[in-house]
Chain A
Amino acid sequence: MPQVKNTIFSSYEKNPGLLDELYDETGEIKEIYSKLFKLYGEHSIQDYVTLNNKAKASFFNQGITFQVYNDKDSKEKIFPFDLFPRIIDSKEWDIIESGTIQRCRALNLFLWDVYHEKKIIRQGIVPLELISSSVNYMDQMMDVNPPGGIYNHISGTDIIKHSDGRYYVLEDNIRCPSGVSYVICNRTALKRALFGVFNHYQTYTVTNYAENLLEVLESVKPKGVDIPTCVVITPGMYNSAFYEHSYLAKTMGVELVEGRDLFVENDFVYMKTINGPEKVDIIYRRVDDQFMDPLEFRPDSALGVPGIFAAYKKGNVSLANAPGTGVADDKAIYTYMPDIIKYYLGEEPILNNVHTYHCSRPAEMNYVLDHISELVIKPVDEAGGYGISIGNRLSKDEIDAVKRQIRADPRKYVAQPIMSLSVHPTYIDESESFEQRHVDLRTYTLLGKDKEFVLKGGLTRVALKKGNLIVNSSQGGGSKDTWVLKK
């Protein structure tokens, strides 16, 4: 094929200060990307714009859209998706996979301990006030034995590559991590638009997630149940992740229920079907634990099922994830992860932790207050990228405001050095060309009784605004298909 002039890559600008996933240390295009780079380089800009529109239409027709519901006239929008995939070779993937499994195992043991003997606290490794002051700690879970001994069946681990070329974990999400359906949709959309590129790569599938999820869920069935009935519970079709809930239910072949479809009788859970009540054994919950049972937690919850927690405590129904896991994905606990891994597993952490300053400790708080411009300040109990301040982006007044916030409630804040997330070529609509954008990676790990699984792929999230480091979709982020190459 003749070389097309003026391709989508002709204007690609490489900022030497950033780690670009496309290039190796010597500045050459990495071998794993060379074929892809060439294939994409054969497209003229016009070609690529057409393909990009097709991919968008694919999302639209699949109904993977979101809408701002309090705005009556707002059109449905798709989540921004980038056609240039991220590639991870098998060597790097092995580190990620073994590292996330290690973390999830350690977190599970930690949760058991926190809700039983609390040895790690008594031995002074994790301070007591960190647990007792956590809003996500659930007293009701004390001495409850979850079926199979598993708390965090489904974990989402957010990983970045720093400019030093090493992987760091930014966050563990073990409450209701979402986004896995996008991993699969991104793959579908990319296949529809550019199926040819798959001929040149041996990529692991991502569609085996649901079957593994079902296996994990069934591995923690209540005692005495032979063939368990599993359901997914959703807050309802107006929830922003409803597509994912229905996708997972469909691909597992189980019912998608809402709280109002379930009821509890004699500490057993039933769903209301066209043939009358049917017993439910395992619930994959996509409703926050605080909303699961109005009798036990938030009494104003209309999403939950009265009495379900009592059924759970009796061991008559399994909940995944277990209630109360939030105490362990708190950003303050995060900083103890290397110690937690060593304590329970006797192993060195495989994935790095970002060094974290606790504002609850006076000396560290003073350091933070003096160095705000070099740090990222995060509230410990917020998800979705809310409440984060990036020091070098703040004006003097804003810095003063952050200082006041920290002083007012030191326990609420931790600070980390500003990490330089690696960048990846990303198609930008406005300039109709590829530009460098920061990316991270959310991996999905499943933990069952005698079963572990990491989805080979994951959600590469892209911060679409130039220079922006926050990749959450609620903050205007997009995503990419992620290929893990076979050996």
Chain B
Amino acid sequence: MLARVANNLFWMGRYIERSEHIARYINVNYFASLDAPNEHSQSRQFVLRSMMYMVGEPEKDDNVQLNEEDIFFKIGLDPGFPFSIINNVKYARENANSARDLISTELYEATNKFYHFVVNYPVDVFVKRGLYDFTLNIAEMSAVLRGKIRGTLLHDEVYAIILMGINIERATQIIRMINSKYNDALVAQGSYADRFRNSFEWTTLLKCAESYDMMRRYYKKTPNSVSTLEFLILNPDCPRSVMNCLNQVFYHIKTLDQKSSYHKNSTAFLVGKVRAEYAYKSIEEIEGDVKKFIESILDSLNQISQKMEKEFFNY
């Protein structure tokens, strides 16, 4: 496989995953806030700020009043905002385009349909009454894409690279969500019957990660800060957990690097190292300083991505 094309496929995976997480985040947060149990979480300003925090453009000025339609447009369909869903989907398709000879017709057509759905979505409908429909479709269409990736591609290097992109991005987005909701839980505490540990925001966080039902099944208790973080970071069986993503990345790097023992400068070595770190971590170690954990894991994921670039995409 060409190095240039491998890079494009890696990013195709990342952009597909990214658009889905952003869509789900704004969907779940908005609708959860409508009847949230406390005033703070129910406030529109609070949820809009949370959305901007998640996409990486937090509003720093407390006095600014955010406009709902403006924020929806910006995150959803603004071609001028680099982190908007429409741009993510455009990039995903552009990357698929350049690797069109390597991927299946089925995957390409699904990507293409996805793209046309987004670019043809009327802006006025979206900002006024289309939030649910639009974001739900994004989430569903990206699930279709993952299905086509799994079900129609050869499970070879091409597949491994796409899946590494998807999983690195998934871990990154889950951490961004944790970061954002952790921040929300801090801000929201103190209001009626809400302590940080038992904040309503933990439930919202789990729903953003499509993990609420399974978390309830696993713990059989109402989510609190510790159990939620443990589930989303360390539980290897939760498909959205950071641990699971690292396991996946480690599994797929083996397709690209088939040596029995890895060179200390290789991507595989680094992935194995990061994975081992979290495989033997307890939630108590993380819970004490969540901010530090977030910085450190984002840094590790970034290093993996850069290492891949150097080892495989350097053309």
Which positions in A face B, CB cutoff 8 Å? 60-63, 232, 237, 242-243, 245-247, 249-250, 254-258, 260-261, 271-274
- The interface-forming segment of B95-103, B179-187, B212-220 is B95-103
Assuming the contacts A62-B109, A274-B157, asked whether A246 and B100 have C-beta atoms less than 8 A apart, the reply is yes
Q: In chain A, what residue has the closest Cβ to B98?
A: A237
Q: Select which of A232, A250, A260 is within 8 A of B315 by beta carbon.
A: A260
Residues of A within 8 A of B2 (CB): 255, 257, 261, 271-274
Cβ contact of A63, chosen from B108, B157, B312, B315, cutoff 8 A: B108
Given A61-B116, A63-B100, A274-B161, 8 more pairs with CB closer than 8 A: A246-B97, A250-B100, A250-B102, A255-B5, A255-B101, A260-B4, A261-B315, A274-B6
Residue contact B1 to A274, C-beta cutoff 8 Å: yes
Residue of A60, A237, A274 ringed by the most chain B CB atoms within 10 A: A274
Determine the distance from Cα of A260 to Cα of B5 in the docked complex, in whole angstroms.
12
Give the residues in chain A near B97, CB-CB below 8 Å: 63, 237, 242, 246
- Of B6, B101, B112, B315, chain A has the most CB atoms within 10 Å of the CB of B101
Q: Is A274 a contact partner of B3 (Cβ separation < 8 A)? A: yes
User: What residues of A have a CB within 8 angstroms of the CB of B113 in the complex?
Assistant: 61
Q: Decide if A63 touches B101 in the complex (CB within 8 Å).
A: no
Which residues 44-75 of B have a CB within 8 angstroms of A? none
**Do A249 and B101 touch (CB < 8 A)?**
yes
Contacts A237-B97, A260-B315; A273 near B112 (Cβ below 8 A): no
Q: Are B256 and A274 in contact (CB under 8 A)?
A: yes
CB of B295 to closest CB in A, whole Å: 31
B293 within 8 Å of A (CB atoms): no
B3 touches A61 (CB 8 A): no
Question: 19 A–B contact pairs at CB < 8 A?
Answer: A60-B112, A62-B105, A62-B109, A62-B112, A63-B100, A237-B94, A242-B97, A245-B101, A247-B100, A249-B101, A250-B105, A255-B1, A256-B5, A256-B102, A260-B315, A261-B315, A271-B2, A272-B315, A274-B313
Q: How far is the CA of A237 from the CA of B256 in the complex (A)?
A: 26
Cα separation A254 to B113 with both chains bound (whole Å):
26
CB within 8 Å of A: which B273-287 residues: none
Q: Which residues of A contact B3 (CB under 8 A)?
A: 261, 272-274
B interface residue count range (under 10 / 10 to 19 / 20 to 34 / 35 or more): 20 to 34
A276 to chain B: closest residue by CB: B3
Q: Taking CB as reference atom, which chain B residue is nearest A250?
A: B101
Nearest CB of B to A67, in Å:
12
Closest 5 CB pairs of A and B: A249-B101, A246-B100, A250-B101, A256-B101, A274-B312
Chain B residue at minimum C-beta to C-beta distance from A243: B100
In the bound complex, residues from chain B placing their C-beta under 8 Å from that of A261 are: 2-4, 315
B1 pairs with A63, CB closer than 8 A = no
In the complex the two chains form, what is the Cα distance from A261 to B4 in whole Å? 7
Closest partner residue, chain B, to A258 (CB atom): B4
Minimum Cβ distance to chain B for residue A71 (Å): 15
Expressed in whole angstroms, the Cα–Cα distance for A232 and B2 within the complex equals: 12
Q: How far is the CA of A261 from the CA of B99 in the complex (A)?
A: 13
CA distance A60 to B117 in the complex (A): 12
Structural contact, B6 and A61, CB atoms closer than 8 A = no
A298 CB, nearest partner CB in chain B, Å = 23
Q: Is the CB of A246 within 8 A of B256?
A: no
Using A63-B109, A63-B112 as known contacts, say yes or no to A273 and B1 having CB atoms under 8 A apart. Answer: yes
For the complex, what is the distance from the CA of A15 to the CA of B313, rounded to whole Å?
61
Q: Which residues of A contact B109 (CB under 8 A)?
A: 61-63
Q: Which residues of A sit under 8 angstroms from B313, Cβ to Cβ?
A: 274
Bound Cα distance A61, B5 (Å): 22
Most buried by B among A60, A62, A242, A246: A246
Assess the A60–B116 pair: CB atoms within 8 A.
Answer: yes
B 90-129 binary contact with A (CB < 8 Å = 1; else 0): 0000100110111001001100110010000000000000
B285-315 vs A: 1/0 string, CB under 8 Å?
Answer: 0000000000000000000000000001101
* Bound-state Cα–Cα, A272 to B102, Å: 16
- In the docked arrangement, what's the CA distance between A285 and B166, Å? 34
As a 0/1 sequence over residues 157 to 187 of chain B, the CB contacts with chain A under 8 angstroms (1 = contact) are 1000100000000000000000000000000
**Residues in A whose Cβ lies below 8 Å from that of B6:** 274
CB proximity of A255 to chain B, nearest CB, Å: 6
Within 8 A of A (CB), among B200-223: none
Chain B residues with CB under 8 Å of A61's CB are: 109, 112-113, 116
Q: Which residues of A contact B116 (CB under 8 A)?
A: 60-61
Chain B residue contacts of A62, Cβ below 8 A: 105, 109, 112
**Which residues does chain A contribute within 8 Å of B157, judged by CB atoms?**
274
Closest B residue by C-beta to A231:
B2
A255 neighbours in B (Cβ, 8 Å):
1-2, 5, 101
CB of A68 to closest CB in B, whole Å: 16
Identity of the chain B residue whose Cβ is nearest the Cβ of A261 in the assembled complex? B2
Q: Which of B2, B113, B116, B256 has the most CB of A within 10 A?
A: B2
- The distance in angstroms between the C-alpha atoms of A249 and B97, with both chains bound, is 13
Q: How far is the CB of B304 from chain A (nearest CB, A)?
A: 16
Smallest distance from the beta carbon of B8 to chain A beta carbons, Å?
10
Residues of chain A contacted by B315 (CB below 8 angstroms): 260-261, 272
Tell me which residues across on chain B come within 8 A of A250, comparing CB atoms.
100-102, 105
The complex places the Cα of A182 from the Cα of B12 at a distance, in Å, of: 27
- The residues of A that contact B94 with a CB separation of less than 8 Å are 237
